[in-house]
Amino acid sequence: MKNKNLYNYILGIADNSLILGQRLGELCGHGPSLETDIACTNMSLDLLGQVRSYYQYAAKIAGDGRTEDDIAMLRKESEYFNVLLVEQPNTDFGYTMARQFLFDVYHFLMLTELEKSTDLNLSAIAKKSIKEVSYHKRFSSDWINRLGDGTEESHSRIQTAINDLWTYTDELFHQTEADEAMVAEGVGVDVTKLKGAYYEEVNSVLEEATLSVPESKYFQKGGKQGIHTEHMGYLLAELQYMQRTYPNMEW
Amino acid sequence: MSKENQILQPSDNSSLLGKVDGALVSILESISDPEIPVLSIMDMGVVRSAVIENNLVKIEIAPTYSGCPAMDVIGDDIKRAMQKAGYTAEVDLILHPAWTTDWITPRGRKALEDYGIAAPLDAESDKLVLLEGKKLVKCPQCGSTNTKMISQFGSTACKAQFQCEDCLEPFDYFKCLK
């Protein structure tokens, strides 16, 4: 493939949305209330819509006859480059919102920079997506606030979720070789530069929600290299079930 | 997933003037949004250009939300309507400039209200309503602004759920997207 770095760079961004979209989609019909159920599936729909644009572009770059569906459905676990954060299970509504919030703040910052990409396709996708993601961020920040500043029970559970997921936040700011190459070309976003703004925003929401900022300095990584947590296999089994069972089926 | 080609290259001209062939306007106005049947895709601002080249009609549509499933249906509906009128149509999705609720025409806004969906406010008011619970959205049933948000997300990606505290009717509010 001629443009391998660009291809991998796109997957690095898109896979986060695909896997988080799949996680949110799991809540369809299972959300804690009708409104939150609808909200989570709406966000899932936005993310999957964004993913289609990225994968269609990636398929064009690959130029080997694969379609967006092939890229989404037919890779092995080690070929997905999403961060570990987004594949973490729903566990309870606190975890679901904590995961969403910790990703949304990053996602918004990243898209703001991607809008300036010299690659017009990526810039267009970012411009479209950021409008949707700003709603996601509002929604998840609002829930962090409500749960944190809610009852004793909700406070302790959202704090536990934040503490547990904190270990996956640092990976958001790691760069792969493909990322570095794309940053050098003015196509990619230098995510290392987003770290300060990210923690500043996250911490201020946590403080407003009367939650404490975790002090742990130990962070997990691996997703960007295709090394995933034990949850990923189960997620893919469900995501890929139809395509694996009935190869080449079409909707 | 559909096989529509996406054209992502930005086109500089965001104005529709002269970009929709006069002969096609009435055909396009007869096609409605599958999820909001009172709204034509023209009034929705989804059609960005429509030109006839020989016997081929080339149409660009802008998705409202990235994942909006209505876009595939709209693409198919356009092709069917054009075929009926004797044209072969090619439909492309364009992402830039991104669709905004500002493109909904005044007639479209009125159709929304008549149908029971509150039309989008400006960006600033929208924020006050969704984030700070300000009472600015007008109930499409009784006209009262004594309304409250039930959920930021509604029956489709583009709407939020509201309820009127005077007539007690629940209704959809079309969120501002800018």
Number of C-beta neighbours around residue B170 at 10 A: 13
Q: pLDDT at residue B9 above 90? A: no
Give start and end residues of each alpha helix (H) in chain B.
22-29, 70-84, 106-115, 123-132
Q: How many residues does chain A have?
A: 251
Give A123's contacts in chain B (Cβ within 8 Å): 10, 96
Do A46 and B95 count as a contact with CB atoms less than 8 A apart? no
Q: Is residue B106 part of a domain?
A: no
B153 vs A228 pLDDT, higher one: A228
Do A139 and B153 count as a contact with CB atoms less than 8 A apart? yes
Q: Is residue B66 part of a domain?
A: yes
Q: Average pLDDT for residues A210-237, to the nearest whole number?
A: 97
Q: pLDDT at residue B1 above 60? A: no
Nearest-CA neighbor of B141 among B166, B158, B105, B175? B166
Do A69 and B1 count as a contact with CB atoms less than 8 A apart? yes
CB proximity list for B155: less than 8 A, separation 6 or greater: A38, B161, B172
Nearest-CA neighbor of B62 among B22, B33, B25? B33
Place of tokens 């947590």: A229
Q: Is A125 part of the contact surface with chain B (CB cutoff 8 Å)?
A: yes
Q: Is residue B165 part of a domain?
A: yes
Could you please report the per-residue DSSP string of B18-30?
TTB-HHHHHHHHT
Mind listing the pLDDT tens digit for each residue in B109-167? Answer: 999 999 999 999 998 898 888 877 889 999 999 999 999 998 888 888 889 999 999 99
Q: Which of A46, A128, A139 sits opposite B98 (nearest CB)?
A: A128
Tell me the ipTM for this assembly.
0.74
Mind listing the pLDDT tens digit for each residue in A65-80? Answer: 999 999 999 999 999 9
Mind listing the pLDDT tens digit for each residue in A176-190? Answer: 999 999 999 999 999
Q: Same structural domain for residues B131 and B68?
A: no
Task: Tell me phi and psi for residue B172, to 5 degrees.
Answer: -95, 145
- Mean pLDDT is lowest, of A87-101, B56-70, B162-176, for B56-70
CATH topology of domain A4-245: Ferritin (1.20.1260)
Q: pLDDT at residue B105 above 70? A: yes
Size of interface A-B (CB pairs under 8 A): 90
Mind listing the pLDDT tens digit for each residue in B134-149? Answer: 899 999 999 999 999 9
A213 vs B1 pLDDT, higher one: A213
Q: Percentage of chain B surpassing pLDDT 90?
A: 58
Give pTM, 2 decimals: 0.88
Q: Same structural domain for residues B94 and B26?
A: yes
- Res B72: pLDDT: 86
Domain ranges of chain A: 4-245
Q: Which residue of A has its CA nearest to B64?
A: A128
- Res B11: pLDDT: 37
Q: Is residue B84 part of a domain?
A: yes
CB proximity list for B168: less than 8 A, separation 6 or greater: none
Q: pLDDT at residue A101 above 70? A: yes
Q: Same structural domain for residues B97 and B128?
A: no
Q: Is residue B54 part of a domain?
A: yes
Q: Same structural domain for residues B136 and B85?
A: no
Q: Is residue B95 part of a domain?
A: yes
Q: Which residues of B touch A (CB under 8 A)?
A: 1, 3, 6, 8-10, 63, 65-69, 95-99, 130-131, 150-155, 157, 161, 175, 177-178
pLDDT band at B3 (very low <50, low <70, confident <90, very high): very low
Q: Is residue B120 part of a domain?
A: yes
Mind listing the pLDDT tens digit for each residue in B47-87? Answer: 999 999 888 999 999 988 888 888 889 999 999 999 999 99
Indicate the residue among B66, B101, B136 that finishes a domain. Answer: B101
Q: Which of B68, B130, B177 sits opposite A49 (nearest CB)?
A: B68
Do B154 and A120 count as a contact with CB atoms less than 8 A apart? no
Q: Same structural domain for residues B97 and B13?
A: yes
pLDDT band at B8 (very low <50, low <70, confident <90, very high): very low
Q: Which residues pair with B93 in a beta bridge?
A: B6, B61
Give A125's contacts in chain B (Cβ within 8 Å): 8, 95
Domain count, chain B: 2
Q: Which of B1, B98, B153 sits opposite A42 (nearest CB)?
A: B153
Q: Same structural domain for residues B10 and B97?
A: yes
Q: Is A143 part of the contact surface with chain B (CB cutoff 8 Å)?
A: no
pLDDT band at B178 (very low <50, low <70, confident <90, very high): confident
Q: Is residue B12 part of a domain?
A: yes
Do A127 and B96 count as a contact with CB atoms less than 8 A apart? yes
Cα of first residue to Cα of last residue in chain A, in angstroms, is 29
Interface probe, candidates B153, B161, B162, chain A, greatest A C-beta count within 10 A: B153
Q: Is A49 part of the contact surface with chain B (CB cutoff 8 Å)?
A: yes
**Peptide bond connecting B97 to the previous residue in cis, omega within 30 degrees of 0:** yes
Q: Same structural domain for residues B85 and B121?
A: no
Domain span including residue B12: 6-101
Q: pLDDT at residue B10 above 50? A: no
Do B153 and A57 count as a contact with CB atoms less than 8 A apart? no
Q: Same structural domain for residues B19 and B70?
A: yes
Do A45 and B157 count as a contact with CB atoms less than 8 A apart? yes
Amino acid identity of residue A200, one-letter, is E
pLDDT band at B16 (very low <50, low <70, confident <90, very high): low
Place of tokens 């267009």: A124
Q: pLDDT at residue B102 above 60? A: yes
Do A52 and B154 count as a contact with CB atoms less than 8 A apart? no
Mind listing the pLDDT tens digit for each residue in A46-59? Answer: 999 999 999 999 99
* Dist CA B156 CA A45 (whole Å): 10
Do B98 and A135 count as a contact with CB atoms less than 8 A apart? no
Do B67 and A45 count as a contact with CB atoms less than 8 A apart? yes
Please give the mean pLDDT across all residues of chain A. 96
Give A128's contacts in chain B (Cβ within 8 Å): 63, 66, 95-96, 98-99
Min Cα distance B9 → chain A (Å) is: 6
Q: Which of B1, B131, B157 sits opposite A52 (nearest CB)?
A: B1
